[in-house]
């Protein structure tokens, strides 16, 4: 009888060189700068796609978790930067939702507007705000498909109380997508 598969996910070994987990990131630009740095390091170290994300406490800026695109590293198409950051935040806090009366509000910061899967994952996660760098068009122009995300998708989240902030440090975020393409990184979902 064959053994059953198991899923195991850890941060990349270099996470501590990039993320100071005891830091406070006061501004949204500070938070996005780190998400973009995660995306870039993921590319430079050959660890995966050019996408990084963070979960922070919205008001204090305390870092709860980080995520890098880990599709190639783990042969797992669910492991985008956002899903990894959300799963790590919930694991750390021991809760399947980040939206609880005894928790501060949480924010997902992502170097690129989320794909359909990650937009849905953000919704279920309990984050109260979603902060994006590069746009869907930026992703598409560098050959990444974002899937079935529509203006109504964002409206759906906003109607349920999730604040959406887009275009933070967009140019810097887009630059990482270009770097990835120039290095010939695989586009695994073209």
Residues in contact with its own copies, shown as a per-residue x/- string from 49 to 78 under the rule CB under 8 A: ----------------x-----xx-xxxxx
Separation CA 21–CA 189 (nearest Å): 31
Which token pair is 92?
A: 């750390």
Give the number of other CB atoms < 10 A from CB of residue 14: 14
Query: Residue 50 or 126: which CB sits closer to its own copies?
Result: 126
The residues with which 106 forms a beta bridge, in sequence order, are: 57
- The correct pick among 5, 102, 161, 184 for binding its own copies (CB under 8 A) is 5
**Cβ-based neighbours of 32, under 8 Å, separated by 6 or more:** 109, 111, 131, 133, 168, 169, 172, 173
Which window, 30-38, 118-126, 165-173, 175-183, contacts its own copies (CB under 8 A)?
A: 118-126
Query: Total residues at the site for its own copies (CB under 8 A)?
Result: 50
Q: What are phi and psi of 165, to 5 degrees?
A: -125, 125
Q: Site residues (CB under 8 A) for its own copies? A: 2, 4-11, 15, 21, 65, 71-72, 74-78, 83, 86-88, 90-92, 94-97, 115-121, 123-126, 147-148, 150, 152-153, 156-157, 188-189
């Amino acid at each position: 009888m064959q053994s059953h598969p198991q899923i195991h996910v850890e941060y990349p070994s270099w996470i501590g060189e990039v993320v100071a987990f005891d830091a406070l990131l006061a501004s949204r630009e500070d938070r996005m700068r780190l998400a973009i740095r995660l995306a870039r390091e993921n590319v430079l170290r050959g660890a995966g796609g050019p996408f990084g994300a963070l979960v922070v406490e919205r008001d204090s800026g305390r870092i709860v978790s980080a995520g890098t695109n880990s599709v190639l590293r783990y042969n797992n198409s669910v492991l985008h930067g956002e899903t990894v950051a959300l799963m790590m935040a919930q694991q750390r806090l021991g809760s399947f939702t980040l939206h609880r009366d005894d928790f501060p509000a949480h924010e997902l910061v992502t170097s690129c507007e989320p794909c359909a899967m990650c937009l849905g994952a953000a919704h279920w996660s309990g984050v109260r705000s979603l902060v994006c760098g590069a746009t869907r068009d930026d992703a598409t122009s560098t050959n990444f498909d974002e899937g079935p995300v529509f203006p109504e998708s964002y409206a759906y989240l906003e109607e349920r109380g999730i604040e959406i902030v887009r275009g933070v440090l967009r140019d810097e975020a887009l630059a990482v997508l270009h770097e990835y393409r120039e290095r010939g990184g695989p586009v695994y979902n073209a």
